[in-house]
């Protein structure tokens, strides 16, 4: 296999994939994105139940990072008790659309439909 040296952009990226992986890297972020596609907004507890195995600390951290990256929006309501909901931004929706073919590939592979 031949390795091609590609120039890095100003942010140190080689291509679009590494830029995307910087935003969705790790196991939990993609699963959080996928859970958010199920409805307009989700509360923290709902997301925690929809992403089995994620800890509160990791979920809170990832939601903050995803909000900073512009793919998740956080809406805080001035109520007692306080209510916070999370939803996808336009970029988050576009990212979920981009993940759909990957999800289809995974379903096919899991179901044994992929042949060498």
The string of pLDDT tens digits covering residues 5-61 is 555 566 665 677 777 888 888 889 999 999 999 778 999 999 999 999 999 999 999
The arithmetic mean of pLDDT across residues 73-77, rounded, is 95
Residue 75 belongs to domain spanning: 16-106
Read off the CATH number of the domain in which 44 is found: 1.10.10.10
Name residue 86's beta-bridge partners: 42, 74
Cβ 58 vs Cβ 27: under 8 Å: no
Q: How many domains does the chain have?
A: 1
pLDDT of res. 6: 57
DSSP 48-76: HHHSTT--HHHHHHHHHHHHHTTSEEEEE
- What are the respective helix, strand and coil percentages of the chain, to the nearest 5? 50, 10, 35
In-domain check, residue 90 = yes
């Amino acid at each position: 296999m031949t390795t091609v040296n590609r120039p890095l952009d100003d942010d140190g990226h080689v291509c679009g994939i590494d830029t995307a992986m910087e935003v969705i890297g790790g196991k939990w972020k993609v699963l959080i994105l996928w859970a958010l596609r199920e409805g307009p907004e989700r509360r923290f507890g709902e997301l925690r139940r929809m992403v089995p195995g994620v800890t509160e600390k990791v979920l809170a951290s990832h939601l903050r990072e995803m909000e900073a990256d512009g793919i998740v929006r956080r809406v805080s309501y001035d109520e007692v008790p306080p209510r916070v909901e999370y939803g996808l931004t336009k970029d988050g929706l576009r990212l979920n659309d981009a993940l759909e073919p990957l999800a289809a590939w995974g379903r096919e592979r899991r179901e044994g439909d992929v042949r060498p």
